[in-house]
Every structure is written in structure tokens, then in C-alpha cells.
Amino acid sequence: MTDYERIERAIHYLQENFTRQPDLDEVAKQVHVSPYHFQRMFKEWAGVSPKKFLQYISAEHAKTLLKQNMSLSDVSYETGLSGTSRLHDLFISIEGMTPGEYKNGGEQLHINYSYAESPFGNIIVASTTKGICHLAFADDEKLALEELKRLFPKATFRQVVDTIQQNALFIFTQDWKNLAAIKLHLKGTAFQLKVWETLLKIPLGGLSTYSSIAAAAGNEKASRAVGTAVGDNPVAFLIPCHRVIKSTGSIGQYHWGSNRKTAIIGWESAKVFAEN
């Protein structure tokens, strides 16, 4: 079992039992390590203690973030998440594929792809000459590649690591303030591109709702369509669909698993907290 798998199991346990606020010994027992080792491993992974992390992933924390008429900047300030290293501080440009590319399934596209490790498990990342076109968590590499090829059935594929991929993957390990611009080359409708662009404006450590995203995208009545577009996000983590939760404060579903979504939300909050 990897450290992330232990962390994921611990997070699942915390989600199921957060109302009891389980202590360190109890959670460490669930992942079969000593409390001392679990505390150290968890802090290395998240940057904060398990107790502090639990505060970030509790339903009450999410509800607090979503108080009516509270701006994202106010949310960040009120919760101590006012650090400057936010993902949206990066200049990330979205370039939609041409209508021809969209229609023909990528017939003239040459796509490089590779696998890499992230704090949240194995991933597959793919790029064209214009930017990242796909990033997904790849618990099964074969199935992940089949999904990529399903999205671009007529493209030419080559397993190789390129500079575009490397620049994007630095997001997991380097200071976000110092990264070069990350370019995205996406296949989507005009509405999907608008929704994905709106997701990029949710700051690191912040959360939003489907209705808020719909309003920001210019159609307050399109919450259901927004939900579909969020679910169709082809670039995990870089386009932060994990920051969208239900208006009730519930974490909600995630294409790559609700436990992983919770882990990412807590990890991002911990990173920002550590900077303040």
C-alpha cells in the first residue's frame, strides 16, 4: 500500500466518522501503522497534522465556505486561506480545438502521452503541440489509455514525455508562483470551454457551487448543464472541477472518486494554510 493509498483510506474513515472527531490513534489503526508514523507520514503529505486536515474536509467547513453573499476573497480571508500562491494566479490559457478538429475526432492531431505519479495516485497526461489536451487519474493504465483514444479516435498517439507535459506536472511539486504559463488545448463545445474557463477562477483553497459557476458563466438557470460540463472536464486538477461542491455543503461526486476529491481539497487548503 502506497502512502497515498493509506492517506485515502484514512480520509474515507474521517469522512465517515468526522462527527465523532476521531483521534490520531483511532485513524492510524485503520491504516495499520503506528500513530507516530501516521502523524509524520500525513504531515509530510499534507503539510499539516491529521487534526487540522480534518477541519478542512468536514461538512461544516464546506458549509462555512458557502455562506450566502460571501465572496471567494472573503471566504479565503475568513478561513485563513489568503496566501498569494493560488492556482488562478498562473496565466493559464484555453484554446479550443477548431471545428474541424472537434468534428473529425482529432484526425490530424499528433498526441504525446505519458504516465506519472502525483500526490493522488498515478496519472496519464497527454499533449498536442499547442498544450495539454488530457489529464486523468490512471488507477488502471490500460483503461486510461483506452479512454484517451476514445476521446480522439482518429489521432496519432506516441508514448513520450515532452516539455509541455513536464511544465504541467510541475504544478504538483514546485512553487506555483514561479511556474511558466500552462497551455491547454481542449476539445469541447463553446459552453463547455466557458465553464472550464470559469473553474480556473476558483482560487486555491476556495470552493464554489454549480449554481455559482452557472451565474459566473452567464446563465444562472444552467446549473444542470454546468454540472454536466464540470463532469466532462478532460483535464483533472489543472482545471479544478474538484473545487465545485453541492450547495448543501456536501463534497459531492467526482469522476475520479469522492475520496480523491476530498483529498485534493484538503491538500490544497493545507498548502495555502502552510504559507500563512
CA atoms of 220 and 36, how far apart (whole Å): 49
Count of alpha carbons within 13 angstroms of residue 110, beta-carbon side: 4
- Among 27, 186, 241, 263, the active-site one is 241
Integer Cα distance of 7 and 43 in angstroms: 11
Give Cβ neighbours of residue 179 (< 8 Å, ≥ 6 apart): 90, 167, 170, 171
Rounded Cα gap, residues 35 and 29, in angstroms:
8
Cβ atoms of 132 and 182 closer than 8 Å: yes
The three three-digit cell numbers of residue 145, written as one number: 489509455
For the question of residue 241 being annotated catalytic, the response is yes
Q: How far is CA 25 from CA 7, 22, 28, 29, 130, in A?
A: 14, 8, 5, 6, 49
Q: Name which of 162, 163, 184, 180 is nearest 171 in CA terms.
A: 180
Query: Which residues participate in catalysis according to the annotation?
Result: 241
